[in-house]
Structure 1
């Protein structure tokens, strides 16, 4: 169990201006977004900030990560975003401020605001035009690639603002082509996201006995990325696996034996666990806690909370368990059986981790030989 939360994901707007068919917020089992306010109010933001300060003081934290998320956070508009950023930048603990956006609204006004508050920005983008527009469409069914790319280019022109790109893997897309399309935009980091699925609702192409399609996809990216000289960008999942092999800590959800130190605050002030759990069943992320009445430490006292879940018993004899950790908690779920099983991506993770370990071992042997 983590000793404290270091990252606070704030759902500042609960709606979106895209209709992505692979979105775990709107297209999965949990539909609680329908009953939440569209925007986080200034009062809820202030209560959240007070709880973050309380948590930081309790655990002696010098800084925290505050992520404005959604839905689509830029739907708040520049004026309300300014109100929210003023609240969180004014806390007694230093906040590393980040926004995760679909990129449609990255115009001059909001970029000026991010310059003012030193906000770093991550953008969701799935590759080139064909790959991106397959899923990330407007509500009228039109592709969003051109607008998103223009937003990314405007963002990249602002020094220090570009945090990176988030790409949801689609097996129909060539992995090296996707990687090269993304690095052409010169992101400081890329986060490749395994589609959120589980044993009852498997992700596309992930069938029992069906090989290791996601592992193979990521192996191709790894070989292209690892072999680049000089390094082109950071790739979060690959660097996490390398770090774990070398005895470090992951710092990311999905790999590593320790649950990620992340907590979510919804637009109405509800405190929730990782919102990826919403892909399992309605209410899976719910805690029953609220920033107006409960400290963040109360999550640690909830029986069955994701922060308590160690690697599943079936994983303990696996040679890769100290790297894999059983995979993302949300990907372990099966209806009627809960979360105590390996990830639905177990064969893929085994393939990827084994390949990276083999390459790393070979390189270390050559260095030491």
Structure 2
């Protein structure tokens, strides 16, 4: 495989880090809080405008992200959306939120400002699975997120949820899916891996500081919330079997299964882990004007430039401004040459593979991907034509 770069007309995903790392909760595994932020500022409309000026008319899928994006408030949010509406090219809008601030006033706001915004909620399955999603005093946030899902359901909105598969979920895939799909508004579930390795938690002087020190005392090896690739693959196998046996597929799309099915069938898909369109198709705009590649890549290693330091987004998408990143990502894909699952796995999640480089988990990661693809493929083969 070769690293595919966007052409001049290709659409890209743009992650807007509206409040930077600022959040109203303090998840133990938060990757945003591992990044360097010099100043706790929010994204200014003027910075967004300068970024969009460099995008020409390229199609953009924009995601409001953070931290917690709603922390910027309705007044600033309205100004940011006004800038996005004036963009001369096609724009679709989504938002990833923990849901805690998502009250009726916010939903009324989006109904007026951008009615077709897609809203994603972060919730790690059920109450037990969400125990790493806590506030700054280590208190659970799960009941507040459930309240948001119930409100979205009453408003007739369909939502997607992101589930980070930590150790707390292992062996409980059926319970986790049943808990999520009990909410009629949930139509998409993304089961994201938590393959953290050698990650350093920031040391905040907060009541849950002790929990972080226990879970990740040295920043070396696997922190207490992470799973191995094999454990994640086992969870996916259990989740897939339950998805099929319970016929949840009739009303809920689950990733990565949908993308694996498309990949096995030879069809393209947009899920980066099973697509040829990887990190070069993702840009992250930070409040201070820094532009990085995928927000899942560490900073400053993923830094591509700044809004005032580049004339065109095309220059950044080529990765010429960060040759080391281009070399690292390309090198990972070259390792796939000759693999029996190259055409279906399509290189996997490159941020995870970079994190595992030199850890001894590289082969385990690839084996786990093969196991998941084979599990889904076997089920597809068993379906009568």
Mark the runs of 5 or more structure 1 residues left unpaired by the alignment: none
Structure 1 position 267 matched with structure 2 position 287: yes
Structure 1 position 362 matched with structure 2 position 382: yes
Residue 179 of structure 1 deviates from its aligned partner by: 0.9
Residue 85 of structure 1 deviates from its aligned partner by: 1.2
How far apart, in 2, do the equivalents of 1:322 and 1:190 lie?
A: 24
Name 1:350's counterpart in structure 2: 370
Moved more, 66-75 or 253-262: 253-262
Structure 1 position 324 matched with structure 2 position 345: yes
Name 2:140's counterpart in structure 1: 143
Name 1:219's counterpart in structure 2: 237
How far apart, in 2, do the equivalents of 1:157 and 1:310 lie?
A: 49
* Moved >4 Å (runs of 4+): 198-207, 334-338, 341-344
Q: Deviations over 1:259-289 (max 9, x none)?
A: 15221111112110111112xxx51221133
Q: Deviations over 1:65-97 (max 9, x none)?
A: 111100110000111111111211222223211
Structure 1 position 13 matched with structure 2 position 19: yes
How far apart, in 1, do the equivalents of 2:287 and 2:91 lie?
A: 19
How far apart, in 2, do the equivalents of 1:70 and 1:145 lie?
A: 19
Give the superposed CA RMSD: 2.5
How far apart, in 2, do the equivalents of 1:153 and 1:291 lie?
A: 43
Structure 1 position 254 matched with structure 2 position 254: no
Residue of 317, 335, 341 corresponding to 1:314: 335
How far apart, in 2, do the equivalents of 1:252 and 1:333 lie?
A: 18
Moved more, 92-101 or 291-300: 291-300
Residue 351 of structure 1 deviates from its aligned partner by: 1.1
How far apart, in 2, do the equivalents of 1:263 and 1:356 lie?
A: 31
Structure 1 position 65 matched with structure 2 position 70: no
Q: Is the 8 A contact 1:47 1:292 kept in 2?
A: no
Mark the runs of 5 or more structure 2 residues left unpaired by the alignment: 199-219
How far apart, in 1, do the equivalents of 2:13 and 2:347 lie?
A: 22
Name 2:36's counterpart in structure 1: 32
How far apart, in 2, do the equivalents of 1:291 and 1:168 lie?
A: 35
Residue 239 of structure 1 deviates from its aligned partner by: 0.5
Q: Is the 8 A contact 1:191 1:237 kept in 2?
A: yes
Structure 1 position 283 matched with structure 2 position 300: yes
Residue 306 of structure 1 deviates from its aligned partner by: 5.2
Q: Deviations over 1:8-58 (max 9, x none)?
A: 1111111111110011111x4xx313x144200121122123233x151xx
SS at match of 2:273: coil
Name 1:84's counterpart in structure 2: 80
Q: TM (normalized to structure 2)?
A: 0.82
Structure 1 position 183 matched with structure 2 position 181: yes
How far apart, in 2, do the equivalents of 1:88 and 1:114 lie?
A: 14
How far apart, in 2, do the equivalents of 1:256 and 1:198 lie?
A: 24
**Length, aligned pairs only:** 344
Structure 1 position 42 matched with structure 2 position 59: no
Structure 1 position 115 matched with structure 2 position 136: no
Q: Deviations over 1:226-265 (max 9, x none)?
A: 3343613111211111111111123112223441522111
How far apart, in 2, do the equivalents of 1:108 and 1:257 lie?
A: 39
Name 2:315's counterpart in structure 1: 298
How far apart, in 2, do the equivalents of 1:334 and 1:42 lie?
A: 34
Residue 301 of structure 1 deviates from its aligned partner by: 4.0
Residue of 114, 122, 136 corresponding to 1:124: 122
